[in-house]
Amino acid sequence: MTTRAYRSTVRERAAVATRTAILDTAEALFAEHGYAHVTIKRIAEEADVAQGTVYTAFGSKPALVSALTERAAGDTSIGDALTAVETAATGEEVLALVIANTGDLVRRHSRTMTVLFDAAALDPAIAALLRESEDLQRSRFRLVAVRLESLGALRDDVTESGAVRILEYFVTPLSWHRMLQLGWDWEDAGVFVTEAVCSALLRG
């Protein structure tokens, strides 16, 4: 590696580290104090960078939330779960994979979820971002519904589109988020969702 290439690599790694630090700081501050009460100046101070660095890296507060959402949506476990769904042998196995993965995602990215849901009511740009996130989730649930249909696992009175709607009602991050707000613990929430979804979707 040449000296120039080495320096370029070092700069790139430093930029990634700075971006990550800003995102982590913004996520923590938004979740603790509320999106509306956190300024770019505060984020820069807590991340120990200049305000200009935050603006250069992200541009705005909505862009920070967008980057946080993209980071959560890009979690590699989502693709792994969808791949496993394609080879699952039963409807119960399919739903167990989907419910476990969604619950784990919410657990790992709970602060991002809190920020997204709370800020969507305050900022039209973030409301649009939430709708995009829901559209992506819906497309993934459609793959799950197709797999359930191909296995002959769906109840006679449940269509593929109906299965998607049921999954959206019970299994989205918003559903988990609401249950946790109401005081459910992770284990009880998982048991409830699994039993409810299996009863609503699968043949007896």
Q: What is the pLDDT of residues 100-131, one digit of tens each?
A: 999 998 888 888 988 888 899 889 999 999 99
Could you tell me if 43 and 96 lie in one domain? no
Q: Domain range for residue 28?
A: 3-59
Take residue 21 and report the two structure tokens written for it.
Answer: 């630090």
- Residue 85 CA to residue 102 CA, distance in Å, equals 13
Could you tell me if 128 and 171 lie in one domain? yes
Could you tell me if 137 and 55 lie in one domain? no
Burial of 121 (0-12, 13-18, 19+ CB in 10 A): exposed
pLDDT digits 0-9 by tens, 124-156: 999 999 999 899 999 999 999 999 999 999 999
pLDDT digits 0-9 by tens, 9-43: 767 788 889 999 999 999 999 999 999 999 999 99
pLDDT digits 0-9 by tens, 171-188: 998 899 889 889 999 999
Give the model's pLDDT for residue 8: 62
Take residue 191 and report the two structure tokens written for it.
Answer: 């048991």
- Residue 9 CA to residue 6 CA, distance in Å, equals 5
User: 131: domain CATH number?
Assistant: 1.10.357
Could you tell me if 81 and 171 lie in one domain? yes
Could you tell me if 78 and 54 lie in one domain? no
Tell me if 169 is assigned to some domain: yes
Tell me if 64 is assigned to some domain: no
For the packed helices 91-108 and 160-171, what is the interaxial angle rounded to 10 degrees?
A: 40
Give the model's pLDDT for residue 106: 87
